Structure 1
């Protein structure tokens, strides 16, 4: 079994812990070693059980063990800064963590460090970059191209042929219509319906979605 640490000690990290547990029920892949954070707390409580929180400096500067790293962070800006600290070291690996219930075609191309949670659907010929967090029930249509460091929240629908850049936050139940282009560093609100291309640094809400920045 591969030793695995989860970076973070909040809600997203707890959900990834449960995802890893589900993976191990199907195939014993990972040995969970603990959560990693800068907090002064020593333990994280999950379902009545206590789990170790390891100080980040220990893992970054004192460990020489080859281990798998998963980032349990919902803040895109914080995530990107922390990822750089770990990718600079060759002892760390960044597996794609995919829940067993996910429907994903073999034609899908994945980078590294992606988290794809329960009951998401990836159809065919989609390209996904690295360090994306795909929340439960997300649907990605055919021929989509998704960059890196995106957070796509539950039950969002991204139609066929959509291109999405980097560092976007896509809200719960949002819909992006087919063949649109979405830039980088955008926020798309919960329930929004995107009907036209979006450049960068926009905040889109409503039906149809309009920029309020």
Structure 2
């Protein structure tokens, strides 16, 4: 059993704790030692554990520790990862026991990815680092997903889709086959992408249309 902590003690953090519990039920792997969260005091009891501290405390942690990021904002996730400098910290991939892969050996991923329950990943999928695939997400064949992407429940990514970095996919959003989603894009819940997106834009509707002009930056 290896020590693991969750960064973020909100709703996502609770879901990640449930995911760790489910993984251990299949095969004991992890000992959840608690949560790191910069908005709560050390020792505060939260569902599934207690607060171990914030970023400063994580960076002076003196034992080897696996950390899973439970952060639902791509921008916040990028900033937090850049601040973690403790060489004793590593970032495992956490995959729910019921995730179905069409061909697991053909799926390659980096570090810090989380794939929740009832999701499906097809074959020949490439995935970078720190992507969060929430419950019931589908990723089609030959798709490429960069890093720091948040795919909320029931997102559907069709085959041969290329996704860049730092993108947010709302609940039940859809990207049709062969399209490209670039950088810093937000896709609203229930929206369907019919054509390549423009970076730094918000897309809403079915078919989805942009609500910001090219070059605008979402904060």
What does the per-residue CA deviation read over 1:12-49, in whole Å, with 9 as the maximum and x for residues that have no partner? Answer: 11110010000000111011100011222633432xx6
Contact 1:12 1:72 (8 Å CA) reproduced: yes
Is contact 2:42–2:52 with CA below 8 Å preserved after alignment?
no
Residue 205, structure 1, aligned to residue 208, structure 2? no
The whole-number CA distance in structure 2 between the counterparts of 1:165 and 1:114 is: 15
Which ranges in structure 1 are unaligned for 5 or more consecutive residues? none
So what's the TM-score if we normalise by structure 1?
0.94
Q: Relative to structure 2, which stretch is displaced further, 75-84 or 132-141?
A: 75-84
Task: Give the aligned partner of residue 36 of structure 1.
Answer: 36
1:44-193 matches, within 5 Å, as 44-46=45-47, 51-56=49-54, 57-61=56-60, 63-86=61-84, 88-104=85-101, 105-193=104-192
Shift of 1:95: 0.4
After superposition, give the CA deviation of every residue in 1:139-196 in whole Å (9 maximum; x if it has no partner): 0000000010000011111100000001100011111100001111001011111110
Q: CA RMSD in A?
A: 1.2
Distance 2:45 2:150 in 1: 24
Could you tell me which runs of 5 or more consecutive residues in structure 2 were left unpaired when the two chains were aligned: 213-219
TM (norm. structure 2) is: 0.92
